A and B are shown apart, each in its own frame.
Chain A
Amino acid sequence: MITKTVKIINKAGLHTRPAATIVKFASKYSCEFFIQKDGININGKSIIGVMTLAAEMDSELTLTFDGKDEVEACEEIVSFFERGFDE
């Protein structure tokens, strides 16, 4: 299991487009992927779940990956956060 903390760096926050991209990335992998924010733990493969976080700029999220391809999944998704969702 890998746990990583990431920060939202783009102005618009985690809105619909990046949320959809994260879910698309996550769905490629078989490992479980969860995101935690303010005591709420959501499934990162569910678009409604990711949008529920309504994560604004500068908020911190904890990502948890668990499964056999967790390393690859973690790399791709964390890098997407670090690039500010390419915006």
Chain B
Amino acid sequence: MFKIDEKSLSRKKSITIKYFYETIKDIFNIKLISNKTGFEKIITTKDLLRPGLALSGFLDSFSYDRVQIFGNTELIFLKQLSKEQQKNTLKNFFEFKIPCIIFTNNNKPPKLLLDFANKNNIAVFTSPFTTTKTSYLINDFLDDQFATRISIHGAFVDVYGAGILFVGKSGIGKSEVALDLIERGHRLVADDVIILTKKGENILMGAGTNLVKHFMEIRGLGLINIEKMFGIRAIRYQKRLEIVVELEFWDKDQSYTRTGLDEETITISGVDILYVRLPIIPGKNITVISEVISLNYLLKHYGYDSAKLFEKRLQTKIKDKSNKDLRGVDYFEHDFE
């Protein structure tokens, strides 16, 4: 079974406020309301914090290194304080190395807070969404940024909606299988270098690299651009990984599954993925088999397991003493066709 090298795993340690703001400003409609300052500061964790308790004076376990979300509660709390109290509270708050502050519901911060932020070089943003929605969006973005990434050598194709990753030794024909699948109307995600990103607890999303996108190398032909050649219908940018198919030369000492009753899985970064080992022998059409793998996976997904159902039929047949006739039809009634 193919292994994933430790060296293939990577994880971003930090992102700058500049990158954070420029990436999300258009997708989440985030606006900068402080001066353009503190953009070189970094975010190191995907977690967020609503600093209500810290503002009220409890600073013992204040997670200051997180993105600070100021909802309605924080704003109302600040506003009901007297000028002097507000100044003291903010002075204490801004003594910490905060990455940035985000107001929700299009709220405007008190002028004093903006002054403190500008003086301490901390960027303040505002989001048009509610606190819950803003937190969800930003948390999802940061989760993706800080997720473990795995680089894998293979070909990744969406076959009937199931993401199949072909792996195997160099030169075994992964790209050729992918090309054949594209010809039959399936969609290429990436060839050669696949970057898998963990999403949540049990999802791996796969994409190509930004340099290669939908280019592909076919031995003896060189580089070709799949998107230009076959059009938009032949590609997609990302896909959930659902099946790993390992192509290998036929090995008579290996035992290949014959019934499909015991499914093998491979664990990639803590996620179990269906694993199929396909031996290559003359006359075997890997493309068609890949389509069948995908269809079988979809059937199982919708509750139909061919192997299990066949097993059940066999058991019923063994128990049923009345009908021992082997032939599949009882009688060919006037059927001469």
Residues of A with Cβ closer than 8 Å to B?
27, 34, 36, 38-43, 45-49, 51-52, 54, 62, 64
A51 touches B211 (CB 8 A): yes
| A contact residues around B229 at 8 Å (CB) | none
Say yes or no: A42 contacts B10, CB within 8 Å: no
- Residue B171 at the chain A interface, CB threshold 8 Å: yes
Nearest Cβ in chain A — how far from B9, in angstroms?
7
Known: A41-B5, A52-B212. 10 other contacts (CB 8 A): A34-B7, A38-B10, A39-B7, A39-B8, A41-B151, A42-B151, A46-B193, A48-B193, A48-B215, A48-B217
Residues of B within 8 A of A (CB): 5, 7-11, 149, 151, 153, 170-171, 191-193, 195, 209, 211-212, 215-217, 223
Select B149's contact among A39, A42, A48, A49, beta carbons within 8 Å: A39
Contacts of A34 in B (CB 8 A): 5, 7
Q: Which 8 A-B pairs give the minimum distances between C-beta atoms?
A: A39-B10, A45-B170, A41-B8, A43-B153, A48-B192, A40-B151, A41-B7, A52-B193
Q: What are the residues of chain B within 8 A of A47 when measuring CB–CB?
A: 217, 223
Residues of A within 8 A of B8 (CB): 36, 39-41
A40–B193 CB distance below 8 A: yes
Contacts of A40 in B (CB 8 A): 8, 10, 151, 193, 195, 209
Contacting residues, chain A, for B151 (C-beta < 8 A): 39-42
- B225 to nearest A CB, angstroms? 12
Cβ-defined contact, A64 with B7, below 8 A: yes
> Chain B residues near A43 (CB, 8 Å)?
153, 170, 192
7 A-B pairs with CB atoms under 8 Å apart are A39-B9, A39-B11, A40-B151, A45-B171, A46-B153, A48-B216, A49-B192
Max chain A CB contacts within 10 Å: which of B8, B11, B191? B8
Give CA–CA (A49, B175) in the complex, Å: 13
**Bound CA–CA A48/B224 (angstroms):** 11
- Is B192 in contact with A27, judged by CB distance below 8 angstroms? no
- Report whether A46 and B192 are in contact in the complex, using a CB–CB cutoff of 8 Å: yes
A76, chain B: closest CB distance, angstroms? 17
* Chain A residues whose C-beta falls within 8 Å of the C-beta of B171 in the assembled complex: 27, 45
User: Taking CB as reference atom, which chain A residue is nearest B222?
Assistant: A47
Q: Is the interface of B mostly helix, strand, loop or mixed?
A: strand
Residue of B nearest to A40 (CB): B151
Chain A residues whose CB sits within 8 angstroms of the CB of B5 once the complex forms: 34, 41
Report the Cα distance A27→B216, complex, angstroms: 18
Nearest-Cβ distance from residue B214 to partner chain A, whole angstroms: 11
Q: With the chains together, A64 CA to B8 CA distance in Å?
A: 12
Q: Which residues of A contact B10 (CB under 8 A)?
A: 38-40
- A43 to B153: give the CA distance in the assembly, Å: 6
Residue of A whose beta carbon sits closest to that of B152: A41
Shortest Cβ distance from A16 into B: residue: B223
Contacts of B211 in A (CB 8 A): 51-52, 54
Residues of A within 8 A of B209 (CB): 40, 52
**Contact assessment for B9 and A42 in the assembled complex, using a CB-CB cutoff below 8 Å:** no
Indicate whether A42 sits within 8 Å of B7 (C-beta atoms), given known contacts A27-B171, A48-B212, A48-B217: no
Contact A62 B193 (CB under 8 A): no
Residues of B within 8 A of A64 (CB): 7
A39 to B7, CA, bound (A): 6
Nearest chain-B residue to A36 (Cβ)?
B7
The residue in chain B whose Cβ has the minimal distance to the Cβ of A46 is B192
Nearest CB in chain A: distance from B251 CB, A = 16
- For B149, what are the chain A residues with a Cβ–Cβ distance below 8 Å? 39
Are B7 and A27 neighbours in the complex by a CB distance under 8 Å?
A: no
A51 to B212, CA, bound (A): 9
Residue of A nearest to B9 (CB): A39
Let me know if B170 and A46 touch, CB within 8 A: yes
CA–CA, A52 and B211, complex, Å: 6
Residues of B within 8 A of A38 (CB): 10
Asked whether A42 and B212 contact (CB < 8 A) given A47-B217, A48-B193, A52-B192, the answer is no
**Alpha-carbon distance between A41 and B193 when the two chains are bound, in angstroms:** 9
